[in-house]
Amino acid sequence: MSTAKDLFLIAVDPGQEHAVGQGDLSLALAGAELIDLLGAGTVTVDDDRIVPGGPPAPDDRLLGEAAAQLVRQPPHERIEDWLWRRGRDLSAAYQAVLEEDGELARKRSGRLPFGPSRVEPVETPNSRRAAVRWEEKEPVLAALASVVGVDGGRSGDEPGFTDDTVTTVVASVHEAVMELEAVRQRRTIENTAFANVWRGP
């Protein structure tokens, strides 16, 4: 399993205290994919640009899709631009694939049979492996989870990255998530102001 799939399983685990926003998770998943592609040698990073040209992506459907979407002509794509482009609706794509692979199951919230449903990880070798990485505070998984607000108690831990490029990618994910939150807050303020205009004095 890829880092992105492990991250998704950790993020939707019912034991987590806070629900993760789909937009935040999508950005983090795109970052996780890039880190896995870097680890496989499929891409390198020159300054802040993603340069493809190494071995093919690992044998993973979504990583293969990610590799196929890389910009292969110079000037190559900046990490930040990749996160926003690849990250669009990416959490929904991971949910669909993980459900199809039997790694996720739908559960009803509450006792009513017609209540809203959510997805939870199924007990499988892959979910157990993701849990082990999480419990061992594997640096990349822990850092990306922290960025999207999963288990904030770990956020003060030193990531312990041995690769400056990985540090750059994680920092870019963090900046993108912060930017998305700023957009949300701005929209909330605008909507509130608009509602007040219609409500009148």
What is the DSSP secondary-structure string of 117-181? EEEEE-SSHHHHHHHHHHHTT-HHHHHHHHHTTSSGGGTTS----S-HHHHHHHHHHHHHHHHHH
Token pair of 15 as six digits: 């034991």
Question: What whole-number distance in Å separates Cα of residue 103 and Cα of residue 112?
Answer: 24
Is the pTM above the cut of 0.75? yes
For 46, the domain range is: 3-199
Number of Cβ within 10 Å of residue 74's Cβ equals: 8
Number of Cβ within 10 Å of residue 129's Cβ equals: 14
Token pair of 185 as six digits: 């807050």
pLDDT of the chain, 201 residues: tens digit per residue = 899 999 999 999 887 777 888 999 999 999 999 999 999 999 999 989 999 988 888 889 999 999 999 999 999 999 999 999 999 999 999 999 999 999 999 875 655 555 456 789 999 999 999 999 999 999 999 999 999 989 754 544 445 677 899 999 999 999 999 999 888 787 777 767 656 666 655
Token pair of 147 as six digits: 């960025």
Total of domains in the chain:
1
The burial class, CB within 10 Å (0-12 / 13-18 / 19+), for 145 is: buried
